[in-house]
Structure 1
């Protein structure tokens, strides 16, 4: 189970106890915000893309969406999300639980600048009913960030 993979990942830092699970689904921004009692914009959603031969994840604020022009300017190709059935085998977490923690090797993770306006955010933790609250520096560090990008706009 993917949440166990994330727990194992955070265990090396003594942070596995910070992962929270709920009985309800937190697979969408709205359901996650309701389940964990925060504003939807503070949900750090992780989007999975195929960029040529590369797989990349973009972690962005819950009130943002990919801006195709900015994405193409930054990554040199059109934004092409992975198909739902491809996400788990390629990334290591299924749709609704995708996060940058405990992912498969060879995937670059980028943090969108939209996250920088918050002290803490709530990314998923490997399942559609889990999350972990992290400071922005923690998200960058533990999320294995390859850098900050500006590839989103408001929904």
Structure 2
């Protein structure tokens, strides 16, 4: 159902966007980057978080790490990752295919500003083998996302 809900989402909201099915796992950032032939940073991973009583989705570049301090400052509380069963229950997508499209019920979506480092990015598309290619601004527009600075990049992590 998950991939089907994403296909239905794009058929309604962006019929010009086609799902890319690699036929191999794109469930991790490394797998997706290898399958798509792009650098890992261009994979737009979707994190499922709980902020207080609210579940949110965060789209971030593949090499970024969630910063608890930045997230708390931007979102008002320390984020907690959801467990795999809860992720699938709330998003309708399996872990490894989670994306902000075709959700059974709307969830707040945030896009980390680091996505804007690229002309296009590749979020998952509801299954462990599918993705789409979008500009970061279109990703945000299609999902009603709020832009926020809530992740740290690898160079900043090493410092």
Q: Which interval holds the TM-score relative to the shorter structure?
A: over 0.9
- TM-score normalised over the length of structure 1: 0.94
Is the Cα contact below 8 Å between 1:111 and 1:148 reproduced in 2?
yes
Higher strand share: 1
Contact 1:100/1:144 (CA < 8 Å) preserved in 2? Answer: no
- Alpha-carbon distance in 2 for matches of 1:119, 1:22: 21
- How many residues are paired up? 153
- Residue of structure 1 equivalent to 2:95: 95
**CA-CA distance at 1:116 after TM superposition:** 0.6
2:19 alignment counterpart:
19
Match of residue 2 from structure 1: 2
In structure 2, the residue corresponding to 1:134 is in which secondary structure? coil
More displaced 10-residue stretch of structure 1: 70-79 or 42-51? 70-79
User: Structure 1 CA distance, aligned partners of 2:117 and 2:42?
Assistant: 9
Counterpart Cα distance in 2 of 1:104 and 1:70: 29
- Per-residue deviation at 1:114? 0.4
Query: Would the aligned equivalents of 1:47 and 1:57 in 2 still touch at CA under 8 Å?
Result: yes
Q: After TM superposition, give the deviation of residue 26 of structure 1 in Å.
A: 0.3
> Which segments of 5 or more consecutive residues in structure 1 lack a partner in the other structure?
none
* 2:69 corresponds to 1:85: no
How far apart are the structure 2 equivalents of 1:46 and 1:15?
22
- Answer whether contact 1:97 1:129 (CA < 8 A) is retained: yes
The whole-number CA distance in structure 1 between the counterparts of 2:139 and 2:151 is: 18
* Structure 1 CA distance for aligned equivalents of residues 79 and 65 of structure 2: 11
| 1:6–1:126 contact (8 Å) kept in structure 2 | yes
